[in-house]
Amino acid sequence: MTCRSYLPAGAAVFALALVSVAGAQNDANVDNCKNLALRPQARIAACNAVLNRPGVSNAWRAFAYTSRGGAYRDLGETEKAEADYEQAIRIDPDNPNAYLIRGNLERERREYAQAIKDYTQAIKVSPRFAGGYLGRGNIYADQGDYDRGIADFTEAVRIDPKYVAALYARGVAYFHKKDYNHAIADFSEAIRISPQYAVAYQARGFAKRRNGDIDGAEADIAKAVQLDPRLSD
């Protein structure tokens, strides 16, 4: 058995990445535009309403294009998604979110060189943007360059010590390097911060098994399945 991938490249990342826009308005369309619990069609309609609002600021237009792009992506309409991300970048080139989300889309397509450029640009415009380091680290790890991946994951954790996705990703990279003690430490910290993080229990169980702790491994894997029965597959 092997640990699961470092981080899904889909909606969960988008939810983590989206930062607040200055001067946010308490508006139903704004809330619905970014609400990932809604169906993509409803989010698109809400984002369209934001974009069609008279006098909307560039920051809000970029936000709406980025959010609408995420909804198109969830529908599998990747060309429309990419067009929206590009619009967001054109309007607000200093906002890291669109670079990050476009990088995630490029990662799904295995366009690794372009994804690294976008993640690096997200970091350039916002050096304390932990999501950019996580995204770029994922690409390095996807390519088997675990040391560079770990370096980026470590920077993400330095910026945000409670960033469980980065802790998990670093743990998986250590696992692939056969550094099971460090892997277990990272999975344990992710679990401490987020006790319902099922895949972290599973991954820690795999690492414990490789480390010879069979009882501990079985307990962790059982806990993972209890939290998420899909992990029994």
The answer to whether 225 and 209 have CB atoms below 8 angstroms apart is no
Is the sign of the CA dihedral 24, 28, 30, 34 positive or negative?
A: positive
pLDDT at 56: 86
Instruction: Give 215 or 10, the one with higher predicted confidence.
Output: 215
User: 127-175: per-residue pLDDT in tens?
Assistant: 999 999 999 999 999 999 999 999 999 999 999 999 999 999 999 999 9
User: 193-222: per-residue pLDDT in tens?
Assistant: 999 999 999 999 999 999 999 999 999 999
Instruction: Give 115 or 16, the one with higher predicted confidence.
Output: 115
pLDDT at 15: 40
pLDDT at 95: 87
3-state SS, residue 61: helix
Helices (H), 75-111: 78-91, 96-108
User: 21-77: per-residue pLDDT in tens?
Assistant: 434 445 899 999 989 999 999 999 999 999 998 888 898 899 999 999 999 999 999
pLDDT at 69: 95
User: pTM (2 decimals)?
Assistant: 0.84
